[in-house]
Amino acid sequence: MAKQTILVLCTGNSTRSQMAHGYLQHFAGERATVLSAGVETHGLNPKAVQVMAEDGIDISHHTSNHVDDYAQLPINFVITVCDSAAERCPVWIGRTNRTHHNFTDPSKATGTPDEIMAVYRQVRNDIRAFSEGFISERVLSGSLT
């Protein structure tokens, strides 16, 4: 089976897409190349880095990239992780499969610092479950649908 390329797309490529990038790469290992981008770039969110590190995934080296940076690459799967990115997602020419799953934006959480971090952890856990299932169903099984 050929190595797959997965692009995770969000609005700012700072939180949700970065967490998904980390988990998708973790679960896929060498069987996929995972990239993440935004329709804008907002920089890497330190709280996302923190909650991922709590689960043993280091995303501190990730960068916030614009979707145009990957426009010329052959992409097997595009995963949009927020409604805004799904609406603004460019159309890739060729064989690209799109999947959409809207995750809550933890950067909009309010409350005490502990309450805010609890939202980040919940979103992280939701993204972890989605990512593990996606890799199992789409990459490990070889299914492009």
Is residue 32 part of the annotated active site? The answer reads no
List 7, 49, 82, 85, catalytic entry: 82
Q: For position 82, what pLDDT does the model report?
A: 83
| All structural domains of the chain | 4-140 (3.40.50.2300)
Main-chain phi, psi angles of 51, to 5 degrees: -70, -30
Q: For position 93, what pLDDT does the model report?
A: 46
d(CA 130, CA 74): 23
d(CA 59, CA 77): 21
List 89, 109, 116, 118, catalytic entry: 89
DSSP 102: P
Q: For position 97, what pLDDT does the model report?
A: 85
Name the stretches of the chain with pLDDT < 50: 93
